[in-house]
Amino acid sequence: MAEKVLLKGNELLVEAAIEAGCRFFAGYPITPQNEVPETMSWRMPQAGGVFIQAESEIAAINMLFGASAAGARCMTSSSSPGISLKQEGISYITAAELPCLIVNMQRGGPGLGNIRAAQGDYFQAVKGGGHGDYRLIVLVPGTLPELYQLTMNAFDYADFYRNPVLILGDGILGQMAEPVELTPYEPILDLPPKDYVLDGCKGRPPRVVKTLYLHPTDSLVQHNLHLQEKYARIRRELNLYEEYETEDAELIVSAYGVPGRIAKGAVKMARREGIRAGLIRPLCVWPFPAAPFRKAAQTAGRFLVVEMSFGQYVEDVKLAIECRRPVAFLGKGGGWYPSQEEILEEIRRLSSKAQDPASVKGSV
């Protein structure tokens, strides 16, 4: 095994992107992701790529439209308020079906909020945020080895499906350091040739990259149906999650990102106390990995959802199990996080109730 390096998440992200062949970065500073543009500013020139500190977040995302249309592997990063600014551009990029990577190291909101970690941008990430019927592939690493791997994979997903990928992290994922082995990039998909890029049409018919569909009248309908087919295919093919001790679990705990790893610790503690708890920790939240939830709902009596927001991710868990089991909720927001002990306390409370069938009735 190669030697592990100790880097902050934000720095590691840069190494993964460059290793995966990303050669264009545009961004604008905002805490807690400032190490991304900072590191990019010297690493990208070393790799022969382009680093641009844009005049705004809006400019940066639109530069990605251009870079991607020209065929470059490209990315931008920001944190919550900056990602809000990018939404128009993200909608355009999805309409034009251009691959790119967008990273959101979420901070406390709404508004300018604070600079602590949060997960309040979940709805924005998975339900839209920009206008129109579009979807982003949304990856949610919880550890730094996962951040390294998923960042490299993100470029493959983006190119394979011709769709932007969003890494939905949080301030802690960006700021924490954890040892990671910097494995070489290996494409995980058989990538199609980029037969859409605008690289000069000498000797071939011209190509058009556009997002305006006025003629014929139903051309936008056709374009949307094409996009929906693609999204359906992604739903069928992409399914990333970790399952832990779910087999015999009476209570399923679920969380993503950094709370996901904290919840795993709480589940381990609960198991040591003899409580049959299990964990489902998604690594992508669009498409939502519904299968393990549906399967667990057949045997587990109840669910507990933990997130660093006040009830967003929990909705997708309820949808995944079609509300067939009671779903308890532990949410922290405004830049606060749930501790292992708090989650354990909730597990204990729910499991003792679960042992008493009378109390389960009507407790939804």
Residues forming contacts to other proteins in the complex (CB under 8 A) are 4, 6, 31-32, 115, 171-172, 175-179, 258, 261-266, 268-269, 337, 339-340
Evaluate whether 174 touches 9 at the Cβ level (below 8 Å).
Answer: yes
Minimum CB separation of residue 263 from other proteins in Å reads 8
Q: How do strand 101-106 and strand 50-53 relate by DSSP bridges?
A: unpaired
Give 106 or 175: the residue with its C-beta nearer to other proteins.
Answer: 175
Local structure of 30: helix, strand or coil: coil
Local structure of 150: helix, strand or coil: helix
Which residue carries 């679920």 as its tokens? 254
Q: If you count them, how many residues does the chain have?
A: 364
Minimum CB separation of residue 242 from other proteins in Å reads 11
Minimum CB separation of residue 282 from other proteins in Å reads 17
Q: Determine if the peptide bond prior to 32 is cis (ω within 30°).
A: yes
Give Rg (Cα) of the chain.
Answer: 21
Amino acid at 108: G
Minimum CB separation of residue 168 from other proteins in Å reads 18
Backbone φ and ψ for 52, nearest 5 degrees, come out as: -130, 120
Give 339 or 355: the residue with its C-beta nearer to other proteins.
Answer: 339
Q: Nearest 5°: CA angle at 335, between 333 and 341? A: 70
Please state, in angstroms and rounded to a whole number, the distance separating the CA atoms of residues 338 and 87: 29
Minimum CB separation of residue 244 from other proteins in Å reads 10
Give 227 or 266: the residue with its C-beta nearer to other proteins.
Answer: 266
Contact residues for 308 (Cβ-Cβ < 8 A; gap 6+): 117, 118, 119, 120, 170, 257, 258, 259, 331, 332, 333, 336, 337, 338
Q: Nearest 5°: CA angle at 138, between 280 and 154? A: 110
Minimum CB separation of residue 116 from other proteins in Å reads 9
Evaluate whether 100 touches 64 at the Cβ level (below 8 Å).
Answer: yes
Please state, in angstroms and rounded to a whole number, the distance separating the CA atoms of residues 351 and 277: 8
Minimum CB separation of residue 329 from other proteins in Å reads 20
Give 143 or 309: the residue with its C-beta nearer to other proteins.
Answer: 143
Give 34 or 163: the residue with its C-beta nearer to other proteins.
Answer: 34
Evaluate whether 132 touches 231 at the Cβ level (below 8 Å).
Answer: no
Give 261 or 353: the residue with its C-beta nearer to other proteins.
Answer: 261
Give 181 or 322: the residue with its C-beta nearer to other proteins.
Answer: 181
Q: Tokens for 103? A: 């990273």
Give 179 or 192: the residue with its C-beta nearer to other proteins.
Answer: 179
Minimum CB separation of residue 108 from other proteins in Å reads 12
Please state, in angstroms and rounded to a whole number, the distance separating the CA atoms of residues 206 and 250: 60
Give 244 or 286: the residue with its C-beta nearer to other proteins.
Answer: 244
Please state, in angstroms and rounded to a whole number, the distance separating the CA atoms of residues 325 and 306: 16
Minimum CB separation of residue 141 from other proteins in Å reads 13
